Every structure is written in structure tokens, then in C-alpha cells.
Amino acid sequence: MSALTHHTTQPTRTTVTVIGLGPMGRALAAAFLKAGVTTTVWNRTPGRDGDLVASGAVSAGSVEEAVTASDLIVVCVVDYNATDAILRRPEVEAALKGRTLVNLSADIPDRSREAGRWAAEHGVRYLDGAIMTPTTTIGTPHGVFLYSGPQDLYDEHKSVLDELSGSHSFLGEDVGRAAAFDLALLDIWWTSMTGYMHALTIARAEGISAQELAPFAKGIAAILPPSFDEAAVEIDNDDYIAKVNPITSSASTMAHIIHASEARGIDASVMRAAEGLTRRAIGLGHGGDELTRLSEVMGRHL
């Protein structure tokens, strides 16, 4: 008998259930279907699965039916109040027992940890996760997925999750870690984008169109990655000694931006928040330190 004939049984077909068919849930289900994964879908408001069903998805008539269709259930709804409303009912909890639930909805780390405790109480195998990229990236190499929870559970289901394409990172067994990374990374996104909105407002007030500024804005953004690395090393080492720019110098540049904005009647509250932090650090005697000192100062009263 050749070695090949040992493998005559057909591989088990991969199946998954996707609960929540907002833009992201639909993108996830579509990517699973495209990869050939048997996909069952459910959404609170019926009728959101038309395109998916046309592509081969099974439309479940109830949450219980959706849960029992697969060993792996992915939930992606607006937040954990929504996941609780869907899943924390005795009949659904009974159906989930022994199955793996991957929660890709966004919320705060403590909600993830609390969901982990609920899952353990009900015999649900639970992984938490976060999606860091828009719906258009799902099913492409550009999607970014983060997970946390039991490592063996992640390893067991990794091959199915990988069918979504993109990069998948397991961050550790503290079930709140994916949400914590999500929170910190979204902090960068929202503060940067709000800063960019302010920059474009100043530029327009000076007769510079947004599209004229954008290429130069990208040049500024390109300086950030090495600065991120340098700051990370300094903060992990509690080393705030100024190597490039003391906080006093940063504070005076920020003050120029505030004064110029307000002279034009532009709301400078974004920059005022940053400048206020530098003033606080200076007041605490850290004016000669690097800007990274702000991280230590911001965390002081936690």
C-alpha cells in the first residue's frame, strides 16, 4: 500500500457561523464564503443576508440555529451590550456549550474579561479579538486581526480564521489584551486624524487647499515610525532625558500653533490639550526632559 492510500477519507469541511451582519459581519461572512468555508449567518434585523445567501451562505432562522450549525461561531456586532443581548439567554448559552466563540466586536478590555468569565461559567470556549482595518481589507492581505485568550483554542481554530486572509496576531492569554491593543491603537488613529483636521483648517485659513497640504502631511507622517520606536524604548526604560528636543521647546511650538489658530478664529482645542500637558510637565519640573515624559505625567494619577 502506498503512503498516499492512507489518506483516502475526505477532509472534514470547515464550517463557521457569523453572527452580526453589519458592514463588518457581512465582509467577514463574504470572505469565509469566498474561501470555500461553509458559512451560516444570523442578524437581529432580518433581510441583511441576501447577497450572502446568493453566494451560498445558510441563513439561520434563530440564534440557537446559527450556533448549532458550527463549532466555531464568530460574533461581530456594534459592542458587548449587543453581544450580551444576543447571546446571554439560557437557550443560546445551552447551544454554545462546548463550542468556540470568537468575539470580534469592539469594546473595552474589561468587557472582554467579563465576557471571558461568562463564557467559562457556561462552558463556552472563548476567544476575544479585534479587527484593526476597514471592511474593504477583509479577505485581502491588508486585513489586520488581533486575538487573545487560551492559546490552544487559537491554535485549534487558526486555520479557519486564516481563511479571512490578512495578518492574524495572537497577543496572549489575558483575554482583554486584544481589546487593550485595539484601544491603544485607535487612540493613535483618532488623535492623529483630529490633529490632521486641525492642520487642514489652519491651512485653508491661510489659503492652502487640503489637497495642496496633503502630500506634505504625508511627509510628516513618514517621520513618525522611527519616532514611535525611539519613544517606545525610552518609555519602557523610564528614560526621559532630552536627546533631541526638551519639552520647553515643544511647548513653545505648540503655543505658536494655538496663537495663530485663535487669531484666525479657529478652534485650537486639540492643540490646547497637548500644550496643556507640556505646561503641566514643565510645572512639575520636567521642562528639560524629552516629550516622552508626558506619558509618565499622564499616567501619574491613575
Determine the size of the site formed for ligand NDP (CB under 6 A). 22
Element (H, E) at 58: strand 58-59
- Per CB under 6 A, does 113 bind ligand NDP? no
- Per CB under 6 A, does 86 bind ligand NDP? yes
| The three grid cell numbers given for residue 107, joined into one nine-digit string | 469594546
- Per CB under 6 A, does 85 bind ligand NDP? yes
Residues 33-52 that bind ligand NDP (CB under 6 A): 43-45, 48
What DSSP string describes 208-240? --HHHHHHHHHHHHHHHHHHHHHHHHHHHTT--
CA-nearest of 23, 129, 17, 121 to 71 is: 17
Name, in order, each residue with C-beta under 8 angstroms of 156's C-beta and a sequence gap of 6 or more.
Answer: 100
Cα 228 from Cα 110, distance rounded (Å): 27
CA–CA distances in Å: residue 72 to residues 8, 75, 153, 156, 197: 26, 10, 11, 10, 41
Q: Please classify residue 35 by burial: count the beta carbons closer than 10 Å to its beta carbon, then call 0-12 exposed, 13-18 middle and 19+ buried.
A: middle
Q: Choose which of 14, 16, 18, 20 interacts with ligand NDP (CB under 6 A).
A: 20
Residues 64-83 that bind ligand NDP (CB under 6 A): 76-79, 82
Check the CA dihedral 159-25-140-187 and report its sign.
negative
Cα 272 from Cα 134, distance rounded (Å): 30
Closest chain position to ligand NDP (CB): 22
> Which CB sits closer to ligand NDP, 85 or 273?
85
99 and 73 Cβ atoms separated by less than 8 Å: yes
- Per CB under 6 A, does 135 bind ligand NDP? yes
Q: How far is the CB of 150 from ligand NDP (least distance, A)?
A: 22
Q: Choose which of 16, 17, 18, 21 interacts with ligand NDP (CB under 6 A).
A: 21
Q: How far is the CB of 80 from ligand NDP (least distance, A)?
A: 9
> Which CB sits closer to ligand NDP, 44 or 99?
44
- Per CB under 6 A, does 283 bind ligand NDP? no
Q: How far is the CB of 132 from ligand NDP (least distance, A)?
A: 7
* Binding region for ligand NDP (CB under 6 A) out of 6-14, 19-27, 155-163, 284-292: 19-27
- In this structure, how many other beta carbons lie within 10 angstroms of the beta carbon of residue 97? 11
Q: How far is the CB of 111 from ligand NDP (least distance, A)?
A: 11
Query: Footprint of ligand NDP on this chain (CB under 6 A)?
Result: 20-25, 43-45, 48, 76-79, 82, 85-86, 105-106, 131, 134-135
